[in-house]
Structure 1
């Protein structure tokens, strides 16, 4: 068996070793690999420039594509060199070099497509790692079997192993090829969906919500088509999916109704454009900006920077305040109290001055001071003003205005009063305080008086 293993490519290389043909093959191989390295370097620079100028979306998996250039170009050049030199000399070394060049190039090409599909979002890194490991394992096993020359025997053995699943007779080879076809078609479909989403998102003439709807529908349609095609290639009758669809409908009606409701609500939100990415909303005592609208949930980033996942059904059934729908200006006010002896016209002028040079405060309409009430400790004043982009928050603006008021009042010696209370203890009931050495009769009235 060991002699058979090495009677294929390794055996041919060993037979050519020490002959002039081996030196010629080594020279041709080195020249082709050097030419492949130069061409790969030029192609890599050209595509990197195009990615920076036009195709920014190709940055996902670009490193894998760059690494695939050299082995693939080298495989093509070695194959051409073998075809040209085979009538004149043995090409055992070139035949052996074709296997790792083509296999490694195939691995990096699959990595490129997988990273375009899974590498964009951090939550898919586990799937990406699994796909890369499985592809690497299968390609390396295929290369080893090809070099040993036993790939046909292994395929024949896999075809001879039969088993039965329900009413379908399958072999190990058909099962393996079926899983392979399903994986290939799914990855291709998801890659096409990703490319379609990139193209839709770059369209400037479409509404943002419509872009999301088209991208999601396109990817879902491509995945469904890939599943149907892969099942047909495996030999499974797709008419059995009708029974599965009926069972799925019953499951949705009972156990999965919340999940289905969230998905339907997500498409409703995207289609009726009630919410857009970038809107600032209030829902269930949470205020924040919409950063993502997914099919099942919506991501809202609060004013503290924490992102909250809100089920889409909640955005349909609950009361939602959209602070970004019609106007971006908001009205704010600050209150302050001054002493009764204060020069009120001066104090009110200082309130208006406190809004000067504060970012986002509009001067048209102009800030306006008001005398609100005569309090028990001082005169209550109020300053009202309009803020630009109020949906992003008003606390920092009001804080800056209050600091200016404090500084200006201190500079002009205007006091902000604090609560003062006088407590008086009156002589009630004829009770007098006791004094040391005083007559006891003065401390309390006589009994019976």
Structure 2
């Protein structure tokens, strides 16, 4: 049996350690690692010093610095090794290259996972499990490579054949297919996340159009990734036609509501009938739009309750948007004053009282009108405009009513209440209305003996 890769490297390293020139390899390795760390730090600090409008490159490099440092070191080692090999052996660098490469691969995998599935900063349990699994697989592969077991493993996987219908596929081909699909999907999701952040920063484009472009770009990248990965493995893409037909039938029969919501989501985003931050009323739900997804929209009510509403409801039914073209909202309240009030002096007082509230717009202004002659007094309606419907209507109406009430009290203006008088025209009640007093058997006195008959 021939010597393994590990034993060959150990013998070469041992022979190099006997020579004083090995210190050149140690110095080169340490210098590359140090230069890589310094350059990565300088790049990160340089982009961090810029303003927040530097773009997606700054966002990527700030979190990519942990991957950038070993990557620069690996590039320097690969660059210096052939130069140093002209004068001496470089067995130490030959062992260091796959070690640093595995380190770069682990860091890069963790970076991509967190950029795709933990963009908000919170790392879930599933992401942690995937990170540990990737780390274990990478270092296991490095251990098998350095010990010389990697060629034997590849040969064993290639000889293991699994029957799939009429064909037989080796286990190595299946693993390559799964790996290529996962890798291309992960890269597509990473590119989609970066593109979405870039699009969301375009202030010149409407927010709905930005969301549509981001979602369509991500879907297109995922589709391309799947097709490319299947082509790399050698799977004929024409076999997907059967799957596509079955999927179409399934969508037409059982997924009508879901597909309708997805299509409605794109319609809402494209026609810009609703955007994040709008105050809307749909069906029996009222609140602020906090999120527009492809399938559903989230409305946050003024009481803090969030409602998840399918997008189909926004397209098939009537929707009231309080801030579609103008955020100004008209509100009104009513008050009744007595008939002996000077109405011409009351109306300006009410308008001035309502206009003094901070949320009430001064333009177009407050209007107070005499609506009708009511049964109890003169009915006055006070109308006003606000520009922030997302802050609620009940609280501003409360402030307006309190200001009106204080103004009426300060000016001694009476607010009548309902009064009803009941007059009895005849003091003699009818016989059928005379009250009856129940008489018990104990109150009845039996007749005495010898009474008149």
Normalising to structure 2: TM-score of the pair? 0.82
Q: How far did 1:150 drift?
A: 2.2
Task: State whether structure 2 residue 179 is matched by structure 1 residue 180.
Answer: yes
**In structure 1, distance between residues paired with 2:56 and 2:287:** 29
159-168 or 228-237, which moves further after superposition? 159-168
> Relative to structure 1, is the Cα distance of residues 172 and 10 closer, same or farther in structure 2, using a 3 angstrom cutoff?
farther
1:48 matched residue in structure 2? 48
2:442 matched residue in structure 1? none
Q: How far did 1:42 drift?
A: 1.4
52-61 or 277-286, which moves further after superposition? 52-61
Q: How far did 1:311 drift?
A: 0.9
**In structure 2, distance between residues paired with 1:121 and 1:200:** 17
Contact 1:281 1:322 in 2 (8 A): yes
**In structure 2, distance between residues paired with 1:403 and 1:259:** 48
Q: Structure 2: which 5+ runs fail to align? A: 436-453
Give runs of aligned pairs for residues 279-358 of structure 1, distance below 5 A. Answer: 279-339=278-338, 342=341, 344-358=343-357
**In structure 1, distance between residues paired with 2:293 and 2:52:** 28
**In structure 2, distance between residues paired with 1:378 and 1:261:** 54
Contact 1:266 1:293 in 2 (8 A): yes
**In structure 2, distance between residues paired with 1:369 and 1:246:** 66
200-209 or 123-132, which moves further after superposition? 123-132
1:265 matched residue in structure 2? 264
**In structure 2, distance between residues paired with 1:343 and 1:10:** 108
CA deviation map 1:164-184 (0-9, x unaligned): 222332222222221111112
1:436 matched residue in structure 2? none
Q: Structure 1: which 5+ runs fail to align? A: 433-449
| SS in structure 2 at match of 1:7 | helix
C-alpha RMSD of matched pairs (Å): 3.3
244-253 or 196-205, which moves further after superposition? 196-205
| SS in structure 2 at match of 1:120 | coil
Q: How far did 1:127 drift?
A: 5.9
**In structure 2, distance between residues paired with 1:11 and 1:409:** 102
Normalising to structure 1: TM-score of the pair? 0.83
> Relative to structure 1, is the Cα distance of residues 52 and 147 closer, same or farther in structure 2, using a 3 angstrom cutoff?
farther
1:28 matched residue in structure 2? 28
Q: How far did 1:343 drift?
A: 5.1
Q: How far did 1:400 drift?
A: 1.6
2:387 matched residue in structure 1? 388
Q: How far did 1:383 drift?
A: 1.9
> Relative to structure 1, is the Cα distance of residues 396 and 61 closer, same or farther in structure 2, using a 3 angstrom cutoff?
farther
1:104 matched residue in structure 2? 103
CA deviation map 1:249-298 (0-9, x unaligned): 11112111211111122222233333333332211121223333322112
> Relative to structure 1, is the Cα distance of residues 69 and 51 closer, same or farther in structure 2, using a 3 angstrom cutoff?
farther
**In structure 2, distance between residues paired with 1:419 and 1:18:** 111
2:119 matched residue in structure 1? 120
Contact 2:322 2:329 in 1 (8 A): no
| SS in structure 2 at match of 1:20 | coil
